[in-house]
Structure 1
Amino acid sequence: MRPQSAGTWLALPVVAALGALCLAPLAILFAYSFFSVDFVTISHDPSLKNYARILQSETYRGLIARAFGSGLLVAAITAVIGYPVAWFLAKRAGAAKTMLLTLLLVPLYSGDLLRIFAWRVLLGAEGAINRSLIWLGAIDAPLQGLLFSPLATHIALTYNYLPFMVIGLWLAFESLDDAWLEAAADLGAPGRDRFRRVTLPLTAPGLIAGGLMVFVMVVGDYLTPQLLGGASGVTVISAINDLFGTAFDWPLGSAIAWTMLAILMLCFGAGAVLIRRSSLVAEGA
């Protein structure tokens, strides 16, 4: 048997599992998005009513926009924090690099619920942050707006997904030749220009890849807004969950899910194009 044939046969179980466990459910979900609910039964007459409802509903449009807005915000925050951390790991950590990378990933070894409840302990009225501020005399009474707010949600989301951004940027910094920065410095370029014209273009593939990972996971996060957001914890993901549960409107839930998926696929396509272009710039350099 030829090596190519052997590889094909070995890949078949993986392809079959991918099709059965991933693609087939998505196809069923797509088909359901064209159905409708008639009292307590699902009508299988196809139509675009569910997608029209999404476009006409200010609530659903607002939830979808807020989800993608949160994704962009957290991706931007993790990028700002991740750049100096990734630079230090790649260029200055030395022998401690392995240990620091392990410490960076330690939070991911614990479950989502454990991390969320740890933030509830920190941000609560009787939590460590409020107690420390009162002890320092900065405040007289606990800050009530820390927990069960958009602030708490975005703090936890940033903490949860920062490692993914740092890893993407760290890999980009590992491949960055310091000679380019030294040449720019020799030519008199200040630090800001060196970052804007050398570091940023050459590390853009890692930034885009890390940003996409963070963006997608924030958009699809269900537990964090529910447990930390309070009244602001209603998200498009929780709306989909309700439609498939108590509301028994599977077709509308499927339509919203596929609308989200379509937007995410467009984002991935745009990200792939940008990564390709930035990689060509890096190779040309």
Structure 2
Amino acid sequence: MDGGRTFLAATVGPVLVALIVLCLAPLGVLLVVSFFRVDFVSIVPDPSLHNYAQVLSSGSYRYLIAKALMSGATIAAITAVIAYPVAFFIAKRIREVKAALLTALLIPLYTGDLVRIFAWRLILGREGVLNSFLIWTGAIDRPIETLLFSPTATTIVLVYNYLPFMVLGLWLSFETLDDHLFEAAADLGAGRTTILLRLVLPLTAPGLVAGALMVFALVVGDFITPQLIGGASGVTVISAIADLFGAAFDWPLGSAIAWTLLVAMVGVVAAVVVILGRTPWGSAAFGRG
């Protein structure tokens, strides 16, 4: 027993230390600094709620935070709709080339964000691949100017960038499903819609929720894609924070915005958990069913 406890302490201890040092400590520093103020080019440790009051009273900051949360929720929903049949097909309809398909799904992630973004700029640009193809086929007479540097372009690229995370989460859930469950449900007279809503969806809910949370958090924290693809609409709360930590040298205000965004994200996730927890498949996802 003592040997087991010693081994557990030896393995868990370093993980906890790394978690505290690499994750919690930086957040703690941001929290402390968010109560300070800036005097010219110096950060003055004068604790107050001035920075948070400025964030909450600013319509611009409130708009950017709401925009980030809405964007994260929208992309999570779109990727879920696309990824669900893709993950089911990979997990249940193929055998020999499953590893190849999963590898192909992950290949874009190996290229880096900038490479993928500039590839999409070549596709969506005024003289890009898509416009050239549409003109060649006679579908349009002149290039479509709004393909690039628009909210639509930003949505397309964000979905492309983060779709693999949703597919992987759902694929793992589908892999654990026993095919005999479908056969048994069909033998008992259940139709496809009933099987989907009362069997498949509750059992794959953990993967769906995990993928949605990953996509939501990644999209909210992404500012490179909106800036390089969205044009004038690409201003985000993350870019505002970066500017405050950079040229403006207002670290306390930047820290306050970052913590406000973090609290808002936690609030959204908590609200979703409460709402979905009241549904049958949501109860299964959160371990209540």
- In the other structure, the counterpart of 1:69 is 70
Residue 233 of structure 1, CA deviation: 0.8
Aligned equivalent of 2:215? 214
Structure 1 position 95 matched with structure 2 position 92: no
Contact 2:80–2:212 under 8 Å retained in 1 = yes
Paired residues of 2:202 and 2:282 also in contact (CA < 8 A): no
Tell me which amino acid in the other structure corresponds to 1:69.
M
**1:68 positional shift:** 0.7
When residues 83 and 140 of structure 1 are mapped into structure 2, their CA distance, relative to the original with a 3 A threshold, is same
- When the two structures are aligned, how many residues end up with a matched partner? 283
CA RMSD of aligned residues (A): 2.2
Q: Secondary structure at the match of 2:123?
A: helix
Is the contact between residue 35 and residue 46 of structure 1 (CA under 8 Å) also seen in structure 2? yes
1:4 aligns with 2:5: yes
Counterpart in the other structure of 1:179 = 180
Give SS of 2:96's match.
helix
Secondary structure at 1:42's aligned position in 2? strand
Q: Which residue of 1 aligns with 2:35?
A: 34
Give me the whole-angstrom Cα distance separating, in 1, the residues matched to 2:88 and 2:169. 11
1:257 partner SS? helix
Alignment-mate amino acid for residue 257 of structure 1: A
Displacement of 1:200 in angstroms is: 1.3
Q: 1:157-196: CA deviations, max 9, x gaps?
A: 1111101100111111112233333343334443333222
1:166 aligns with 2:172: no
Q: Are residues 279 and 77 of structure 1, via their aligned partners in 2, closer, same or farther at CA, if it must alter by over 3 Å?
A: closer
Give 1:124's aligned residue.
Answer: 125
CA distance in 2, matches of 1:276, 1:202: 10
Q: Which residue of 2 aligns with 1:59?
A: 60
One-letter amino acid of the counterpart of residue 66, structure 2:
A
1:246-261 superposed matches below 5 A: 246-261=247-262
Distance 2:232 2:215 in 1: 24
Change (3 A) 1:177 1:50: same
What per-residue deviation string (whole Å, max 9, x for no partner) do you get for residues 200-258 of structure 1? 12211110000000000000012111111100110000000011111121111000101
Identity %: 61
- Report the TM-score when normalising by structure 2: 0.90
Q: CA deviation at 1:53?
A: 1.3
Corresponding residue SS for 1:157: helix
Output the CA distance in 2 between the equivalents of 1:77 and 1:218.
Answer: 12
Q: How far, CA to CA, are the matches of 1:178 and 1:8 in structure 2?
A: 40
Q: 1:179 to 1:231 in 2, by over 3 A?
A: same
Q: Which runs of 5 or more residues in structure 1 are unaligned?
A: none
What whole-Å deviation, never above 9, does each CA across 1:115-156 have from its counterpart, x for those lacking one?
111001111111111111111111111111111111111111
Q: Structure 2 unaligned segments of length 5 or more: list them.
A: none
